[in-house]
């Protein structure tokens, strides 16, 4: 904590989320990633008559389609088939899911649009644990982890290509960082995998808590992190370490990123500024440790879509507090927060 003209100024913890990359024109949401995966898989079928990976098998069986009428997108219950009807050369697509997890993601996406992969992973994990079937539980959980690992690998490759499209700095964000008046004692914590913050001259050091693309010593963290969930104790009681590979708490201890954050929040009072971060439950363990910390004085939300966007993030932040009075004391009101450039 420093003093400016006799006024105490708190150190700043800047939390950067996916909305930051999106505002810079990068298509880095789960929606973008899955849409690209589906499009490329079906595109391969169009060229090579088939596509196969650890998650799915696709084949063009147009030669078996006699007098087959074109399907309407509204009547197709599979995302690969929806994509195939856009391509006139594929009249009949055979889809065989090898991954029940991917099948679940795609089924839900047809019902309400693309969903949060990390949250759906945890929901299915708990569903398997609570199942009355005692046999094959561990094999199902290990297969689920393999499926998520494959998706993480595909996501890594997708983000590598997407990051190549990054454009020069955004003047509006330049003003945001200038107004923040960042000091050497401040801490920037990125939940993204890309090095987008470094296009701004005000930013020299970033803690990539979830890893970085193309960094073997800081691999991407992809999974779930909510030890407060009522079902987490059931997971621990299974007493099987191998199934915890994609729980974020254990990923954080692979390097010193978490230790750097803890050193910052334990040292002096600080204020939090969230930029493009939804503050969802998949990061609850980490965020609750920050927000509920005795040194956390204020929480500012750089909001998207005005009051609606502010309230969405505020409600998410409230879930990280066991003491709601403390939440209301720390959260800065809408009028004193700024919109996030887009």
Convert the pLDDT of each residue in 242-256 to its tens digit: 899 999 999 999 999
pLDDT at 200 over 50: yes
Looking at residue 152, its pLDDT comes to: 95
pLDDT at 4 over 60: no
β-sheet bridge partners, residue 8: 3
Q: Does residue 205 sit in the same domain as residue 56?
A: no
Q: Tokens in use for 7?
A: 């006024």
Separation between Cα atoms, residue 310 and residue 233, nearest integer Å: 32
Looking at residue 305, its pLDDT comes to: 86
Least confident of 73-82, 96-105, 289-298, 326-335: 73-82
Does the residue 265 lie in any domain? Answer: yes
Separation between Cα atoms, residue 139 and residue 146, nearest integer Å: 10
Q: Tokens in use for 299?
A: 């929480």
Q: Does residue 21 sit in the same domain as residue 91?
A: no
Residue 51: give the domain boundaries: 32-109
Separation between Cα atoms, residue 33 and residue 217, nearest integer Å: 24
* CB count in 10 Å sphere of residue 135: 8
Angle 16-254-19 from CA coordinates, rounded to 5°: 15
Separation between Cα atoms, residue 25 and residue 192, nearest integer Å: 14
Q: Does residue 270 sit in the same domain as residue 186?
A: yes
Does the residue 132 lie in any domain? Answer: no
Q: Does residue 43 sit in the same domain as residue 172?
A: no
More confident residue, 49 or 134: 49
Confidence band for 74, pLDDT divided at 50, 70 and 90: very low
pLDDT at 8 over 70: no
Least confident of 68-72, 172-176, 202-206: 68-72
Does the residue 148 lie in any domain? Answer: no
Give the neighbor-by-neighbor strand order of the sheet with 11-16: 207-208, 187-190, 11-16, 270-275, 296-302
Does the residue 308 lie in any domain? Answer: yes
Q: Does residue 45 sit in the same domain as residue 21?
A: no
Does the residue 64 lie in any domain? Answer: yes
Give the chain's domain count.
2
Q: Does residue 48 sit in the same domain as residue 16?
A: no
Confidence band for 72, pLDDT divided at 50, 70 and 90: very low
CB 301 within 8 A of CB 310: yes
pLDDT at 12 over 50: yes
- pLDDT above 90 covers a percentage of the chain that reads 77
More confident residue, 131 or 324: 324
Query: What 3-state DSSP class applies to 7?
Result: strand
Q: Tokens in use for 40?
A: 């490329």
Q: Which of 88, 109, 130 is at the close of a domain?
A: 109
Looking at residue 3, its pLDDT comes to: 54
Looking at residue 75, its pLDDT comes to: 43
Q: Does residue 52 sit in the same domain as residue 41?
A: yes
Q: How far is CA 22 from CA 10, 40, 59, 330, in A?
A: 29, 21, 34, 27
Looking at residue 65, its pLDDT comes to: 55
Q: Does residue 180 sit in the same domain as residue 314?
A: yes
Does the residue 141 lie in any domain? Answer: no
Q: Which of 109, 136, 171 is at the close of a domain?
A: 109
Separation between Cα atoms, residue 48 and residue 40, nearest integer Å: 12
Looking at residue 115, its pLDDT comes to: 74
More confident residue, 269 or 87: 269
Q: Does residue 25 sit in the same domain as residue 37?
A: no
Q: Does residue 317 sit in the same domain as residue 257?
A: yes
Q: Tokens in use for 183?
A: 């000091």
Q: How far is CA 32 from CA 162, 189, 273, in A?
A: 10, 23, 26
* CB count in 10 Å sphere of residue 44: 15
- pTM score, whole prediction: 0.91
Separation between Cα atoms, residue 342 and residue 335, nearest integer Å: 19
Looking at residue 6, its pLDDT comes to: 44
More confident residue, 217 or 77: 217
Looking at residue 76, its pLDDT comes to: 45
Q: Does residue 59 sit in the same domain as residue 191?
A: no
Q: Which residues contact 149 (CB under 8 A, 6 or more apart)?
A: 245, 246
CB 141 within 8 A of CB 243: yes
pLDDT at 149 over 80: yes
Does the residue 114 lie in any domain? Answer: no
Does the residue 273 lie in any domain? Answer: yes
Q: Does residue 217 sit in the same domain as residue 91?
A: no
Q: Which of 93, 109, 125 is at the close of a domain?
A: 109
């Amino acid at each position: 904590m420093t003093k400016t003209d006799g006024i105490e100024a708190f150190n700043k913890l800047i939390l950067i989320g996916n909305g930051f990359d999106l505002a810079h024109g990068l298509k880095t949401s789960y929606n973008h990633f899955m849409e690209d995966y589906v499009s490329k898989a079906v595109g391969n079928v169009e060229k090579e008559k088939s596509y196969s990976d650890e998650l799915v098998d696709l084949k063009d069986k147009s030669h078996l389609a006699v007098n087959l009428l074109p399907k309407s997108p509204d009547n197709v219950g599979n995302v690969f088939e929806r994509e195939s009807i856009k391509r006139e050369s594929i009249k009949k697509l055979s889809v065989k899911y090898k991954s029940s997890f991917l099948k679940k993601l795609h089924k839900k996406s047809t019902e309400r649009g693309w969903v949060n992969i990390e949250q759906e992973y945890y929901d299915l994990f708990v569903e398997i644990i609570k199942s009355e079937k005692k046999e094959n539980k561990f094999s199902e959980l290990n297969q689920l982890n393999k499926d998520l690992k494959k998706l993480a690998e595909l996501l890594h490759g997708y983000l590598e290509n997407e990051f190549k499209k990054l454009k020069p700095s955004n003047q509006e964000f330049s003003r945001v960082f200038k107004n923040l008046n960042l000091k050497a004692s401040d801490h920037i914590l990125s939940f993204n995998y890309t090095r987008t913050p470094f296009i701004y001259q005000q930013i020299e050091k970033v803690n990539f808590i979830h890893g970085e693309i193309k960094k073997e010593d800081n691999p991407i963290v992809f999974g779930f992190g909510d030890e407060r969930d009522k079902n987490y104790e059931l997971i621990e009681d299974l007493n099987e370490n191998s199934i915890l590979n994609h729980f974020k708490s254990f990923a954080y201890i692979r390097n010193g990123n978490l230790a750097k954050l803890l050193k910052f929040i334990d040292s002096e009072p600080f204020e939090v500024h969230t930029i493009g971060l939804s503050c969802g439950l998949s990061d609850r363990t980490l965020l609750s440790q920050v927000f509920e910390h005795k040194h956390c004085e204020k929480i500012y939300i750089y909001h998207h879509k005005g009051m609606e966007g502010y309230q969405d993030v505020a409600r998410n932040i409230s879930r990280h507090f066991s003491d709601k009075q403390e939440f209301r004391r720390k959260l800065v009101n809408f009028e004193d927060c700024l919109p996030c450039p887009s």
